[in-house]
Amino acid sequence: MTLLIFVTIGIIQQRRLFAVVILAGAYSFLMASVMLVLDAVDVALTEASVGAGISTVVLLATLHLTKTIEIHSLRPTAIPLLLSIVVGMLIVWGTLGLPPFGTADSPIHAHVAPRYLSQSIAETGVPNVVTAVLADYRGFDTLGEVTVIFTAGIGVMLLLRGLRRRDEGRSGAEQ
Amino acid sequence: MDILFDLAERYNYAATIFLMVAGLYIVIARGNMVKKLVGLSIFQTSVYLLFIEPSKIVGGTAPIIDPDFSIYSNPLPHVLILTAIVVGVATISLGLALIVRINEAYGTIEEDEILNNGDGG
């Protein structure tokens, strides 16, 4: 967790975007390790492959197509800093009511989770409860997720296909 | 031992909130759009952390049914966050494609320069 904080400070300070992207990848791997410690193995795997892998590749591709140096902005940083701190205080105030970390009797463990844990073997036959819930109990959520990814993919393809066509048009005009 | 647990709990939430605030600060204060998106993803991952943290039970194990274990962490937040991670990457990719398009149209990915160009021309 402390390493995460340091990496984040590095991302804020660093102006070379290449370094920012690499730090973001390191951040994702650290986040995956933290998830692993918190017993969320599926989430850790996804974060390591998707967050640290695909995100970094996509960010690097963007840097390849654009610029890699961030200019020094002239706008004041006091107002955003103040706003962030105020929001942070509000969130801290909100988390004061949370139950203590790691206890088994907090409200989150009292609703449907015990049912998932006790019945999923009989109902789905899958030992990994996360998979059982994802694919069986909450299949519609996953359908919605796939819809979102599909839409995003179409959007990216449309935006970038236009880019290639305009490039060809420009080089054709130069010739 | 109780005091140690208390400290650990406070430290978890405090670090998560710090990451959240840092992401928010990057999004608001930095003009470079790639950096804004990195800030947005930091904000997102801090929210993942905020969801995963309550699902942990001290002494429990990962929610894979096995006769050797009886205490598991809560699987429901894990499922929700799995979905959120993938959707987050999809939105980030879309944002980056928009950045590429903006760079092509304005020749820059800095908000300030785009605004200045708009004023000048």
Q: Tell me which chain A residues have a C-beta less than 8 angstroms from the C-beta of B72.
A: 39, 117, 129
* Chain B, window 31-70: residues with a beta carbon less than 8 angstroms from a chain A beta carbon: 31-32, 34-35, 37-39, 41-42, 45, 48-49, 52-66
Beta-carbon contacts below 8 Å between A and B:
269
List the structure tokens of A78.
Answer: 């006091």
Do B85 and A51 form a contact (C-beta atoms < 8 A)? Answer: yes
Residue B92 CA, chain-centre distance (Å), reads 11
Contact list in A for residue B116 (CB cut-off 8 A) is: none
Shortest alpha-carbon distance between residue B117 and chain A (Å) = 15
> Is B80 within 8 Å of B90 (Cβ atoms)?
no
Task: For residue B118, give how far its alpha carbon lies from the nearest alpha carbon of chain A (Å).
Answer: 17
Highest mean predicted confidence (pLDDT) among A14-23, A38-47, A130-139: A38-47
Mutation for A interface: B20, B26, B100, B106, most A CBs within 10 A: B100
At B32, is the secondary structure helix, strand, or coil? strand
B98 to chain A, any CB pair closer than 8 A? The answer is yes
For A103, name the nearest residue in chain B, comparing CA atoms only.
B57
| Separation CA A44–CA A63 (nearest Å) | 27
Res. B115: pLDDT tops 60: yes
Q: Please, are residues A15 and A69 in contact by the beta-carbon 8 Å criterion?
A: yes
Q: Average per-residue pLDDT in chain B?
A: 78
For the stretch B47-85, pLDDT in tens is 888 888 777 777 777 777 777 777 777 778 888 888 888
Average pLDDT value for chain A: 76
Residue A76's SS3 state is coil
What is the token pair recorded at A165? 């066509």
B16 band by pLDDT with thresholds 50, 70 and 90: confident
Token readout for A49 is 């492959």
Measure the CA angle with vertex A22, ends A21 and A24; round to 5°.
65
The tokens for B62 are 């990962």
B54 → closest Cβ in A108, A117, A162: A108
All domains of chain B in start order, with CATH: 2-120 (1.10.287.3510)
Identify residue B2 by its one-letter amino acid code: D
DSSP A53: I
- Per-residue pLDDT tens over the stretch A74-121: 666 678 788 888 888 888 777 776 766 666 666 666 666 777 777 777
* pLDDT classification of A171: cutoffs 50, 70, 90: low
Written as six digits, the tokens of A130 are 């996360």
Please, what is the Cα angle at B8 between B3 and B11, to 5 degrees? 125
Answer whether residue A17 shows pLDDT above 80. Answer: no
CB contact under 8 A, A104 and B60: yes
Nearest to B90 among A128, A148, A159 (CB): A148
Integer Cα distance of B73 and B75 in angstroms? 6
Question: To probe the interface with A, which of B64, B114, B115 has the most A CB atoms within 10 Å?
Answer: B64
Q: How far is B22 from chain A (nearest CA, A)?
A: 7
Q: Which pLDDT score, from 0 to 100, does residue B4 have?
A: 59
